[in-house]
Structure formats: structure tokens, C-alpha cells
Structure 1
């Protein structure tokens, strides 16, 4: 990948996480400058056998800046792998071990991480739109990236670090984006989603005990049947959010400081 290509991808990636709400139209315009039909974004430069040979050689695998689009890597042990800048669009990583792997700035649109283990992995500024993390273990992972329309059904997200880093915002507010994502039945105990954009996300039946969604955008989000004791919603925007059949509603923190609570749907 040329320096110009890399710069274009970086700018688009930063913009996707930095612009909330109405700024998404600008992001979509920037995405048009990224050719998702280019060979580097839809083809694989390695085979599964070649990746297996790299694993067999021992030590963490170096796959940074590689095109692995559409490749079947299911079930492989990629613990601690360097996947920075890799292109994994539509790749199959279901059941993979990716604990402590570095997936910063990855493009993994529509990739399948179902039942994969990504404990303490770094997914900073990755593009994971429409990716599948159903039943995956992301405990302690860093999730400041774009997960719009991604599925985290029954995923383990305890202690996830998805809060905005307010000490490093030279490119604007870099936040986790989970617009229209599905987290039904997920375990988010103690997860940090401060300032995250979770508009229209589904948290039905999820375990949100002691999670932090302070200042998050939660407009239209559905929390029906969620466990919420200790959940921090201080200054979160709850316009049109569904807050019904909650378990532990009386122990929610910061609800008196939430925005647009009067516009939320409650029991």
C-alpha cells in the first residue's frame, strides 16, 4: 500500500469515529474516496496454508498491512498477532484465538469473528461495520472503532475499553461507534462506553451492571429487559431510548442527569 493510500485510509478511519450524528453524511462522502472494490480491499495476498506456516514457525505472527480479504482463517491461533492496517473485509475468523492481538486500523467490514477469543485485543480505530462477534469473548479489549450494524449477540464484553480518550483528541473526538449494532444478551459488566455513539443499538436482555455510558449517544437504543444495576447514564442522551422491563432500574447511576429522559420510553 502506498503512503498516499495509507493516508487516505487513515483520514477516512479517523473521520468515521470522530463525527457523530449528522456528521455521518460527511463521513460517507469521505468513504467514497476509499475504493472498497480495489484489489487490496477485496482480495487476499496469502493463502490459509501460508498463514498456517507462519504460525508453525513460532512466535506472534506478523500480518500487518496485509490483504487477507475473504480468507478463511477460522479456528487459527493468532494470539498476539500483529494485524495493524490489515484488510480483513469479509474474512472468516470465527473461532480464532486473537487474545492480545493488535488489530488497530484494521479494515474488517463484514468479517466473521463469531465465537473468537479477543481478550485484551486492541481494535483501536478499526473498521468493523456489519462484522459478526456473536458469542465472541472480547473481555478487556479496546473497542474505539466503527462497529455500526455489527452483531455482538451473547458476546462477552466485560471490562471493554470503548470510552473516548479525552487526553488525545488532536484529530477531534475519537469515539466508539455502535450505531444500530446488536448486543442482545451480551455481557457488558464494567464496560466503559463513555461518549460512545450507540444510537439505535439493541441491548435487549444484556447485562449492563456497573457499565459506564456517561455522555453517550443512546437515542433510539433499546434496553428492554437489560440488567442495569450500577449502570452510569450521567449526561447520556436518551431521546427515544426504550427503558422497559429493566432489572435493577432503581440502582441506575446518573439518571437524574441524563438528557432527554422525558422523551425516553419507560414503564
Structure 2
């Protein structure tokens, strides 16, 4: 990893908010474990390979985000807007998806959902690799 990339890793909610306000949208590999991101507008951001485990994203606007390979285990996604997101190989085990808007979001067979969660029922599109 180059020195430039390692300096750009976002690891606090405050840094994320500042960078988003500056127009940055690439937060791939961000380390936001247990971050409080309630109600934030983060639409169109790249969170691929990010660690958002146990993060509070309730009511957040994540529309059109790339969450491929992201760790969202035990994340609070209640009432979050995830329409049009990419969820390929994302880990959503034990995530709280109550009221989350998931229409036209894309996932694949390697995306992990909470037990008893039906991706088709909420409008997710399962893509074959």
C-alpha cells in the first residue's frame, strides 16, 4: 500500500463527515467500527471493503453506495435508504434491517444476510457472477 493511500484511510465519523462535505466520496477500506452515523447523507459513496461492523447507520442515506465486501455485521441499518446500493459479498450478518429501503439494490450469492431475512421479498436483485 502506498503512503498516500494509508494516510487517506477514514477511521472516525468526524473525519468521514468532513471529507464528505469536501466532496470526497471514496471511503473504501474505511475503519468505522461502532461509528455513530445516524441520519447522515452519504449517498453515492464508495464503502467497498470498509469495516462498518456495529456502526449505527439508522436513517442514513446510503442510496447508490458501493458496499461490496463491506463488513456490516451487527450494524444498525433501521430505516436506512439503501436503494440502488451494491452489496456484493457484503457481510450483513446480525445487521438490523428493519424498515431499510433495499429496492433495486444488488447482491449476490456470497452476500451474507441475517437469519430469516428474505432478500427477494424486500426488492433486492440477486446477480449471478
TM-score (norm 2): 0.74
Matched residues in 2 for 1:123 and 1:62: separation? 16
Structure with the higher fraction of residues in helix conformation: 1
Which residue among 46, 60, 74 is the counterpart of 1:91?
60
Task: Report whether the alignment pairs 1:142 with 2:112.
Answer: yes
Runs of 4+ in 1 over 6 A off after TM superposition: 52-55
Q: CA deviation at 1:49?
A: 3.1
Which residue pairs with 1:120 in the alignment? 89
Query: SS of 2:126's equivalent?
Result: coil
Q: Contact 2:63/2:81 (CA < 8 Å) preserved in 1?
A: yes
Shift of 1:50: 3.5
Q: Which one of 50, 57, 78 corresponds to residue 81 of structure 1?
A: 50
Q: Whose relative contact order is higher, 1 or 2, with alpha carbons under 8 Å and at least 6 apart?
A: 2
1:114 touches 1:132 (CA, 8 Å); kept in 2?
A: yes
**Cα distance in 2 between the residues matched to 1:51 and 1:122:** 24
| Number of residue pairs aligned between Structure 1 and Structure 2 | 112
> Conserved in 1, the CA contact under 8 Å of 2:28 and 2:47?
no
Partner of 1:156: 125
Which consecutive residues of structure 2, in runs of 5 or more, have no partner in the other structure? Answer: 1-12
Q: Secondary structure at the match of 1:119?
A: coil
Are the counterparts in 1 of residues 65 and 82 from structure 2 also a CA contact under 8 Å? Answer: yes
Alignment partners' CA distance in 1, 2:56 and 2:115: 15
- 1:23-34 to structure 2, matched below 5 A, reads none
User: RMSD in angstroms over aligned alpha carbons?
Assistant: 2.7
Q: CA deviation at 1:83?
A: 0.2
SS at match of 1:96: coil
Structure 1 equivalent of residue 17 of structure 2: 48
